[in-house]
């Protein structure tokens, strides 16, 4: 399995090509651990410095990911999702369009008084209440999003949060309340470092980048419906805005 040391292509680039091909042909599948630096160095008769550069480049390109104390793994293909002014795609829709299976797990649901930052959007006052739902959204059982949903009590009478367990919020509104979401949404996106708790929920390393996507959703009559606050594993997701 030696590389061509007479080639004008640098050894690290040759090794990158070999590993990319093994990922693309299924030799290494998503979430598989690849051989260690020393194992790759022995297999291809190159230095560990060459292997280290190869791995760093493939991590930067999104083919591999390093997990502290565990090793280097084949990265999951990123989920692509449109979050555009006139075309807001749900997580479930994004998963299906990328050939992935969506699922969700509800962590908590409680009643809360509306907060100041929510009042203007909902047109509510501080003594009115919202349902605050926390859940994890996954693709092929890999956690992608830690989500907070805020829904006015008046919009969801007899709300049964268990219907969101492996269920779609979009479908819940349509089937239970005969309400359709608007295709338009006002959204903001920013990037932060994952806290310890977020890293645990999303099975990533503390300090890795996460995207914060806040969406203010109306119904199809452009009346306020809910606010979604999503913390997204940055290495597993791509957003079109």
Could you state, in order of their start, the residue ranges of all structural domains in the chain?
A: 11-74, 79-240
Residue 223 has pLDDT above 70, yes or no: yes
Q: Which residue is listed with tokens 């090509």?
A: 17
Residue 67 has pLDDT above 70, yes or no: yes
pLDDT band at 166 (very low <50, low <70, confident <90, very high): confident
**β-bridge partners, 134:** 108, 148
Alpha helices in the chain (DSSP H): 11-24, 37-44, 48-60, 91-97, 116-122, 169-177, 196-202
Q: What is the pLDDT of residues 107-134, one digit of tens each?
A: 999 999 998 889 999 999 878 899 999 9
Give Rg (Cα) of the chain.
22
Q: State how far the Cα of 202 lies from the Cα of 232, in Å rounded to an integer.
A: 8
Residue 26: how many other CB atoms lie within 10 Å: 9
Say what the pLDDT of residue 97 is: 82
CATH for the stretch 79-240: 3.40.1410.10
pLDDT band at 181 (very low <50, low <70, confident <90, very high): confident
Say what the pLDDT of residue 82 is: 60
Does domain 11-74 fall into CATH 1.25.40.10?
no
Residue 19 has pLDDT above 90, yes or no: yes
């Amino acid at each position: 399995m030696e590389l061509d040391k007479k080639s004008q292509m640098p050894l690290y680039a040759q090794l990158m090509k070999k590993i990319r091909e093994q990922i693309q042909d299924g030799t290494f599948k998503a979430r598989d651990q690849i051989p260690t630096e020393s194992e790759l160095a022995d297999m291809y008769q190159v230095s560990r410095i060459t292997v280290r550069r190869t791995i760093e480049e493939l991590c930067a390109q999104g083919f591999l990911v390093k997990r502290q104390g565990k090793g280097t793994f084949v990265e999951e293909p990123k989920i692509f999702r449109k979050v555009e002014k006139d075309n807001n795609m749900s997580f479930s829709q994004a998963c299906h369009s990328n050939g992935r299976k969506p699922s969700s797990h509800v962590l908590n649901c409680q009643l809360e008084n509306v907060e100041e930052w929510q009042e203007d959007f909902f047109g509510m006052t501080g003594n009115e209440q919202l349902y605050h739902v926390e859940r994890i959204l996954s693709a092929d059982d890999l956690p992608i999003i830690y989500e907070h949903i805020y829904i006015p009590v008046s919009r969801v009478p007899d709300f049964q949060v268990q219907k969101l367990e492996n269920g779609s919020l979009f479908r819940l509104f349509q089937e239970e309340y005969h309400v359709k979401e608007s295709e338009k949404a006002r959204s903001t996106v920013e990037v932060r470092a994952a806290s310890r708790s977020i890293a645990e929920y999303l099975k990533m390393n503390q300090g890795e980048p996460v995207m914060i996507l806040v969406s203010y959703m109306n119904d199809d009559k452009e009346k306020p419906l809910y606010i979604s606050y999503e913390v997204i594993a940055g290495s597993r997701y791509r957003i079109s805005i």
